[in-house]
Amino acid sequence: MNRYGYRRKSTFSIKNVGLLLVVIFIVFGAGYGVYKLFFIPAPIIEGKEAFNSLPLDKTITLKGKNLRSIDITIIQGEKKIELLKDIPETGEKTYTLQVKPKDMGLTDGPATVVIRARSGILKDIKYEVSSTIDTIPPKLEVLKASPYIDRGSAGAASFRASDADSVFVKLDEHMFRAFRSGPETESIYYVFFPAPLDIKDKAVFYVVAKDTAGNQTVRSLPTKFKDKKYTESSITIDDSFMNSVISPLLNETSISDPVSSFKKVNEDWRKESMTKVFELGQTTDPDILWDGRFLQLRNSKVMAKYGDRRVYLYNGKAISRSVHLGYDLASVSNSPVEAANSGVVRFSGDLGIYGNTVIIDHGMGLMSLYGHLSTVTVRQGQSVEKGDIIAQTGSTGLAGGDHLHFGILLHGIEISPLYWWDPHWIKVNILDYLEQ
């Protein structure tokens, strides 16, 4: 009897274990189903706004997150074209699509891009992007352009463009904005553009017209640059300069490592200051605000020129290098500084190695810079006329004595002021190429 009773108990336990396993499986399955239904994050598609406008040829990058599947189609009238259909191995994936509407048989005009992404049973998201197909590039004609410009100088050009949203001159990675004069449908554009000191040999200037869809038309300019040799010099740095100039700039009373301290100011600070100057040069008035030649500091002597390649010596050893990108002009201490030409004060304040600085915007990307000032009497946004007193000379920033660092900027790139003091050069090399 005990033997039969033992068997009945064992059978009952096995059934319970089986039932428990079934219940666990059901609960687990239900829990997984609930998770799939409610707790899996919804899919995310980044970059879909790129479909808003489609030019002749466009590369679109989309980043998908929490993806189980994704489908993208473009619809125009009766045409429905599949751009993408994918079931990614992981929930996150980046897609690069090359869209060429004409090759797909689409025509210029409206279309709809439908993006459908899934991450779970109930996580199905659908986007409909209203797209405009525009495959006709702007028309562009070069009217006039400077034939030759010196390295470190500037040129000018005019263009006729239609259906363009922007027109600019491109040199390597640099883009110099051209400014419209006339109705939007067919306009004349004008531009000043620099030949930077570090321009590459056989560099080519291009003019580019772009429309809102992204179509572009490119023409090369006939402009060639002429090489120009600049001076090289050595400057000896002693402990007195370290203590009187470098220590205060670093807000220290003593320097344990003079070489590293000087390199920090001359190289790191210089790079930061030049980056700031370049950024300031990107915001400019669309009109010409200046008239005639630019003024040089009264009764001044040239102490250093543009393009001077400097080697700094400490205890007879070269410790740092730089390129001087302006003219150093010296007169008596605290001499009054005049605005070199009419414009609007774009910057007034401390600017690293330049010390107290004023930058005046003369329009169309042309600006003048006044550095190492002791006092400043103008504020940002203030309009000034040629000859107005804006400051006094000084020795703030990285300066060994009282003087004015005078610079000319074109789209944030420092070029030689020498040319802009010459009325004949301005007429022959700039103004003549802005006339129709």
pLDDT band at 181 (very low <50, low <70, confident <90, very high): confident
Can you give the pLDDT at residue 201?
Answer: 83
Reported as a pLDDT band with limits 50, 70 and 90, residue 345 is very high
User: Would you state the pLDDT for residue 208?
Assistant: 97
Neighbour-count burial for 317-326, b at 16+ CB within 10 Å, e otherwise: eebbebebbb
Per-residue pLDDT of 185-223, as tens digits, reads 568 999 999 999 988 888 899 999 999 999 999 999 999
Q: 74: domain range?
A: 44-133
Mean pLDDT of 129-137: 95
pLDDT at 429 exceeding the cut of 90: yes
What pLDDT digit, counting tens, does each position of 395-405 carry?
999 998 999 99
Same domain, 330 and 222: no
Q: Is residue 58 within 8 Å of 210, Cβ to Cβ?
A: no
pTM over 0.95: no
Judged against a pLDDT cut of 50, whether residue 108 lies above it is answered with yes
Mean pLDDT of 7-32: 55
pLDDT at 140: 95
Write down which residue in 116, 133, 150 finishes a domain. Answer: 133
The answer to whether position 356 is within a domain reads: yes
Q: How far is the CA of 356 from the CAs of 384, 388, 393, in angstroms?
A: 18, 18, 10
Quick check: is 324 in a domain? yes
Average pLDDT score over residue span 236-256: 93
Q: In angstroms, how far is the first alpha carbon of the chain from the final one?
A: 121
Mean pLDDT confidence for 74-95 = 93
Q: Do 98 and 160 fall within a single domain? A: no
Q: Residue 200: give its domain's CATH number.
A: 2.60.40.10
Query: Which DSSP helix (H) or strand (E) runs through 275?
Result: helix 270-280
Q: Do 281 and 366 have their domain in common?
A: yes
pLDDT mean over 167-194: 88
Torsion of CA 332, 334, 340, 342, to 10 degrees: -150
- Using DSSP's 3-state secondary structure scheme, residue 47 falls into coil
Enter the tokens of residue 202: 């056989």
Decide the pairing of beta strands 186-194 and 154-162: antiparallel
Q: Are residues 241 and 384 in the same domain?
A: yes
- Tell me whether residue 10 is in a domain: no
Question: 109 in a domain, yes or no?
Answer: yes
In a domain, 299, yes or no: yes
Same domain assignment for residues 126 and 239: no
How far apart (Å, rounded) are the C-alpha atoms in residues 108 and 384? 49
CB 303 within 8 A of CB 329: yes
What are 293-303's pLDDT values in tens digits? 999 999 999 99
The answer to whether residue 89 is domain-embedded is: yes
Asked if residue 2 is part of any domain, the answer here is no
CB 404 within 8 A of CB 300: yes
* Same domain (yes/no): 316, 374: yes
Give 288's contacts (C-beta < 8 A, 6+ positions apart).
Answer: 362, 363, 364
pLDDT at 229: 87
Q: Residue 30 CB: number of other CB atoms within 10 A?
A: 10
pLDDT score, position 40: 73
pLDDT at 6 over 50: no
Q: Which residue has the higher pLDDT, 381 or 13?
A: 381
Please give the pLDDT value at position 130.
95
Same domain, 288 and 420: yes
Sign of CA pseudo-dihedral 136, 142, 147, 153: negative
Res 35: pLDDT: 46
Share of the chain above pLDDT 70, in %: 89
CA distances from 227 to 195, 224, 321 (A): 10, 10, 22
Overall number of domains in the chain: 3
Q: Which of 133, 149, 182 is the last residue of a domain?
A: 133
**Mean pLDDT value across residues 94-104:** 95
Round the average pLDDT of the chain to a whole number and report it: 90
**Does residue 125 sit in the same domain as residue 102?**
yes
pLDDT at 287: 94
In sequence order, what are the residues at sequence separation of 6 or more whose Cβ sits closer than 8 angstroms to the Cβ of residue 435?
144
Both 82 and 98 in a single domain? yes
Given pLDDT bands bounded at 50, 70 and 90, which one contains residue 124?
A: confident
Domain end marker among 133, 167, 184? 133
User: Is 150 part of a structural domain of the chain?
Assistant: yes
